[in-house]
Amino acid sequence: MEYFSKALNMTRSASFYGLLALVAAFQCGPAAQAAQGPAPKNPPAKLNVQDTPINRDGKAPISFAPVAKKVGPSVVNIYSTMTIRERRNPMFNDPFFRHFFGEQFGDDQPREHKSQSLGSGVIVSPDGYILTANHVVEDAESVKVALSTGEKEFDARVIGTDPPTDVAVLKIETKKPLPALVIADSDKLEVGDVVLAVGNPFGVGQTLTKGIVSALSRSGFGINGYENFIQTDAAINPGNSGGALVDTEGRLVGINTAILSRSGGFQGVGLAVPANMARYVMDRLISSGKVTRGYLGINIQALTPELAKEFKLPDESSGVLVGGIAANSAAVKAGLHEGDVITDFNGKKISDPSGLQLAVAQTPPGTKVTLQVLHTETGGRTSEKTVTATLAELPQEALASRGRNSPNEGGQQNMDALDGVEVSDIDSQARRQFDIPRNIQGALVVNVDSGSTSTEAGLRPGDVIVEINRQPVRRADDAVALSQTAKGDRVLLRVWGRSGGGPGGTHYVVVENSKHK
């Protein structure tokens, strides 16, 4: 993510009216709490779903005009309106100016104005259900839908929104059936498949662009809570958000949601939510008005070669490492431990954290699941075991994020084996400042030299070291003592922290032993 923060300006696809949006950020913002109708119990959408493979007979069509004619009527324009409140000038709050000019200086009353955003949507059922991106309708007070056929605008009801996947479902009422897109099985997409993006970029009118599937299962951008994007080079621009990504048969394979760009305009990397994920979210929003997700109660991380070596796993080992386990969670009841490696979830091979996160989230709470696990004893012996867990429901706070400030640097001690790391005990002020749970004991990292191997490994001020080489750390003195006796080329840490500003949890870090440089 450091590369993206320095080199790329990640922006969402959306727009304001007209071509003035060419230099705007790619965020088609307002959504729809105020526009939401009464709590659901809606009839299920009448979807046309096909799971047949993508056509790969090698005969590329001479023209995509038939696809454009087939898909065009099913892609709509979405207009969302919200009220913006802002003060005229921040200096009006300055006591200096009020002292000389009086309390009425500047008439410092919030001003209100209406803001309207433009996006796209996809009709997926003849009775008026529409899929779009959550950020197209977020915080909107009213949402209108215009069909590409030029009929009048319709007032849309927001059935539900799901910010973690950036999916929203709208409903419009018409007297005649609407042209609904067929939904394909997006799991059958392959890199290199031809795809077409349809939407209303910059408000110029419906536009079709062609490209290929550049990559699958893209994640780690920090755009959504659950990321499993289809990457495409089909041109996507502001106003395309919520529009259709279709295959060469005109079937929906994704909902366009974001681009990666340095300029704010398309530069060859577009991202779409897979149709299968969007349909899963839509089914739950329609039936119950919210998306409930399974919850195992673990913090997971990628199993790197360095970590595999520290846990004495075979070189060919793959899976995800359990860095921490929540108290009283499904994982505790199943017998999972920190340091376990999950290789299989309900018969599906697991190779990366995103894959396991999605698999658990898309399994209903209360479901019994089976996991294949590699377990390493403290002495170094590794065994394979099968555990069964009953998933709980994901709590709201599990997706919350908090920022954090610099730690108090009082009473710090230097770590002997860890390059440029200083630690201190955790006092009550530190617990409040970093929201460190009472059950977390260890040494608070107060400083890490930039450019050090500890920084490269991911250790940051505000982290709490809870283990060193699988030995518990209760306070700063423990950490210093264990670092002084650490042997070998590397030091294995278990660390509690808020990586990326997200919810706190523990994970493992391997740092080069500075005594062996």
Can you tell me the distance from the alpha carbon of 185 to that of 484, in angstroms, rounded to the nearest whole number? 56
Q: Are 263 and 302 in contact (CB under 8 A)?
A: no
Same domain, 191 and 284: yes
Q: With b meaning 16 or more CB within 10 Å and e meaning fewer, what string describes 209-227? A: bebebbebebbeeebbbbb
Amino acid at 403: G
Residues facing 345 on adjacent strands: 348, 371
The reply to whether 21 falls in a domain is yes
Residues facing 502 on adjacent strands: none
The reply to whether 491 falls in a domain is yes
Same domain, 150 and 26: yes
Same domain, 309 and 378: yes
Same domain, 284 and 298: no
207 — phi, psi (to 5°)? -135, 140
Question: Helix or strand or coil: residue 5?
Answer: helix
Can you tell me the distance from the alpha carbon of 227 to that of 357, in angstroms, rounded to the nearest whole number? 10
- The CATH number covering residue 76 comes to 2.40.10.120
Can you tell me the distance from the alpha carbon of 279 to that of 297, in angstroms, rounded to the nearest whole number? 25
Can you tell me the distance from the alpha carbon of 346 to that of 362, in angstroms, rounded to the nearest whole number? 12
Question: For the residues of 11-54, what is the DSSP string, one character each?
Answer: EES-B-SSGGGGGS-S---EE-TTTB-S---PPPP---EE-PPP
Can you tell me the distance from the alpha carbon of 170 to that of 30, in angstroms, rounded to the nearest whole number? 14
**Counting every residue, how long is the chain?**
517
Same domain, 190 and 314: no
Instruction: Spell out the alpha helix ranges (H) of 165-301.
Output: 275-288
Nearest to 373 by CA among 318, 325, 316: 318
Nearest to 264 by CA among 340, 327, 202: 202
Question: Helix or strand or coil: residue 221?
Answer: coil
The reply to whether 432 falls in a domain is yes
Same domain, 340 and 476: no
Q: Which domain holds residue 81?
A: 1-55+64-290
Task: Name the residue with tokens 């969670």.
Answer: 329
Same domain, 45 and 132: yes
pLDDT at position 97: 47
Residues facing 78 on adjacent strands: 119, 145
DSSP state of 92: G
488 — phi, psi (to 5°)? 90, 175
Domain boundary among the residues 225, 257, 290 is at 290
Residues facing 443 on adjacent strands: 465
Residues acting as catalytic residues: 135, 166, 241
Cα angle for residues 176, 178, 183 (degrees, 5° grid): 150
Q: Are 460 and 502 in contact (CB under 8 A)?
A: no
Q: Are 467 and 496 in contact (CB under 8 A)?
A: no
pLDDT at position 398: 57
Domain boundary among the residues 399, 423, 452 is at 399
The reply to whether 405 falls in a domain is no
Nearest to 324 by CA among 295, 343, 299, 304: 299
Same domain, 341 and 383: yes
- Rg of the Cα atoms in the chain: 26
Q: Are 342 and 300 in contact (CB under 8 A)?
A: yes
- The CATH number covering residue 325 comes to 2.30.42.10
Can you tell me the distance from the alpha carbon of 355 to that of 320, in angstroms, rounded to the nearest whole number? 9
Same domain, 328 and 217: no
Sorted by sequence, the CB contacts under 8 Å of residue 14 that are 6+ apart come out as 26, 27, 28, 29, 117, 118, 119, 135, 136, 238, 239, 241
Domain boundary among the residues 373, 399, 425 is at 399
Sorted by sequence, the CB contacts under 8 Å of residue 477 that are 6+ apart come out as 413
Sorted by sequence, the CB contacts under 8 Å of residue 496 that are 6+ apart come out as 324, 436, 440, 442, 463, 464, 466, 504, 505, 506
Same domain, 337 and 468: no
The reply to whether 408 falls in a domain is no
The reply to whether 407 falls in a domain is no
pLDDT at position 362: 87
Number of domains in the chain: 3
Q: Kindly list the averaged pLDDT for each block of 10 residues, start to end, along the chain of length 517.
A: 36 38 35 46 77 63 86 90 58 49 52 68 93 88 84 86 91 90 92 92 87 89 83 89 92 91 77 93 89 88 84 79 87 88 90 87 90 79 86 71 40 66 80 80 83 80 86 83 77 78 74 68
The reply to whether 406 falls in a domain is no
Q: Are 210 and 64 in contact (CB under 8 A)?
A: yes
Q: Is 382 exposed, middle or buried (0-12, 13-18, 19+ CB in 10 A)?
A: middle
Same domain, 285 and 306: no
The reply to whether 388 falls in a domain is yes
Q: In angstroms, how far is CA 460 from the centroid of its own chain?
A: 22
Can you tell me the distance from the alpha carbon of 438 to that of 3, in angstroms, rounded to the nearest whole number? 35
Can you tell me the distance from the alpha carbon of 130 to that of 69, in angstroms, rounded to the nearest whole number? 19
| 3-8, long-range: CB < 8 A, 24+ apart | 4/221, 4/260, 7/262, 8/260, 8/261, 8/262
Same domain, 122 and 198: yes
